[in-house]
Amino acid sequence: MSAARQDTPPAFWAIATERSVVIRAARIALVVGVVLALINHGHRLIAGATDGAALARIGLTFLVPYCVSTYSSVLAVRDRMQRV
């Protein structure tokens, strides 16, 4: 196709679903998620007072760092591709 099309960076989801990005984001989410879950919900976990709503919030505690890491990785990959 045209030369301009080749300069277009890959779509967000194409980069976000690359194996290296997913693995990096999962590792970061695991570490940061555990720390945040213990800080924010440790008292409930220790007391055994976790209901469905608390478990949903704990899940979000892991989802947020995963999303942030993925977004950051996509931006970094796109930036690197544009410089080369």
**Report field, pTM of the whole predicted structure over 0.95:** no
CA–CA distance, 4 with 6 (Å, rounded to integer): 5
* Span 20-61, pLDDT tens digits: 999 999 999 999 999 999 999 999 889 988 899 999 999 999
Number of helices followed by number of strands (H, E) in the chain: 4, 0
Name which of 1, 28, 11, 5 is nearest 77 in CA terms.
Answer: 11
* Span 1-15, pLDDT tens digits: 444 445 677 899 999
Any residues with CB less than 8 A from the CB of 12 and at least 6 apart, and which? 74
